Amino acid sequence: MAYIDSEAAVKEVSVLTPKPVRKQARLLRYIWFNRYLYLMLVPALLYYLIFHYIPMYGAVVAFKDFSITKGILGSEWAGFKHFEYLFSQDKFWQVIENTVVISLYRLVFGFPAPIIAALLLNEVRVRLFKQTVQTVIYLPHFISWVILGGILINLLSTDSGVVNNVIKLFGGTPIGFLSDESYFRSMLVFSMIWKEFGWNTIIYMAALAGISPHLYEAAVIDGANRFQRLLHLTIPLIRSTIVLILILRLGGIMEAGFEQIFVLYHPGVYRVSDIIDTYVYRIGLAEGRFSLAAAVGLFKSLINFALLVLANWLSRRMGEQGVY
């Protein structure tokens, strides 16, 4: 077997292939030979079935009048009633608008941040300094939103937060960063970038580390200066990574950050910060209108999926590889 070089043989080489037997028995014998591998997959398969695929089917509850006593299967069908009701509600459209607007802000300001940070880090030649900065900027990623929420309130509070104290020192009037509608979204976007930009540099750092030093040497010999090397070598070489991340971000445009907003928002800023997920939580869990909440959730999933497919298609048309 070791001397066979065809692709098929390479593929088969690591699982024992039983001797050819009668066709019907072959599959069973194959499974028996690899029984441990299949057994190892069983827990994961059960997990995905119960917590992902059954809920996918359970989304039909959006087309039913759910009652707790009858369960998902026993409840009466309601057709598109819940969707029609939602689409006629101003509140629903406001929630959609908030979600999309907050997401787009995050995309516009948050997407370039890690790319710039990674490119700057890549130019640092003092290794210890580079690693220290990396260690520091990765840290907030590992801290929960509840903790960061507490930290933000401490920093930004109107009566004694450090930021407002500095504003007062310079003779300004304190700003209600977290209580004023006109600042709240900016704070959401800013704190999200603060938490995640460092961690998001990782994938670009990996792409940058994968560039062969020979290319830079060749460029130096050709007389390219540092800026030209960045523009004509580094950026084109990490372009596919940038496109890939962009597709994934577009596919997540309906995710505006549930935990962050849930921790920071309050009725005073609902008008600008109530997003799909917080809305689902309130009407589903607090008000118990499960079918209506499920309809909102399903609507969100479908839009996300459509956006992902669209972004992937566009990227392929532009000659880049897609996510799938």
CB of 274 closer than 8 Å to CB of 94: yes
Smaller CB distance to another protein: residue 103 or 157? 157
Smaller CB distance to another protein: residue 71 or 112? 71
Q: Distance between CA 319 and CA 239 in Å, rounded? A: 11
CB of 255 to another protein, least distance (A): 11
CB of 53 to another protein, least distance (A): 8
Smaller CB distance to another protein: residue 72 or 102? 72
Q: Distance between CA 95 and CA 103 in Å, rounded? A: 12
Q: Distance between CA 302 and CA 94 in Å, rounded? A: 18
Q: Distance between CA 274 and CA 296 in Å, rounded? A: 13
CB of 230 to another protein, least distance (A): 10
Smaller CB distance to another protein: residue 68 or 318? 68
Show the 3-state SS of the chain.
CCCCCCHHHHHHCCCCCCCCCCHHHHHHHHHHHCHHHHHHHHHHHHHHHHHHHHHHHHHHHHHEECCCCCHHHHCEECCCHHHHHHHCCHHHHHHHHHHHHHHHHHHHHHCHHHHHHHHHHHHCCCHHHHHHHHHHHHHHHHCCHHHHHHHHHHHHCCCCCHHHHHHHHCCCCCCCCCCCHHHHHHHHHHHHHHHHHHHHHHHHHHHHHCCCHHHHHHHHHCCCCHHHHHHHHHHHHHHHHHHHHHHHHHHCCCCCCHHHHHHHCCHHHHHHHCCHHHHHHHHHHHCCCHHHHHHHHHHHHHHHHHHHHHHHHHHHHCCCCCCC
CB of 298 to another protein, least distance (A): 6
Smaller CB distance to another protein: residue 71 or 97? 71
CB of 290 to another protein, least distance (A): 6
Smaller CB distance to another protein: residue 78 or 117? 117
CB of 31 to another protein, least distance (A): 8
CB of 102 to another protein, least distance (A): 18
Smaller CB distance to another protein: residue 110 or 251? 251
Smaller CB distance to another protein: residue 100 or 203? 203
CB of 271 to another protein, least distance (A): 20
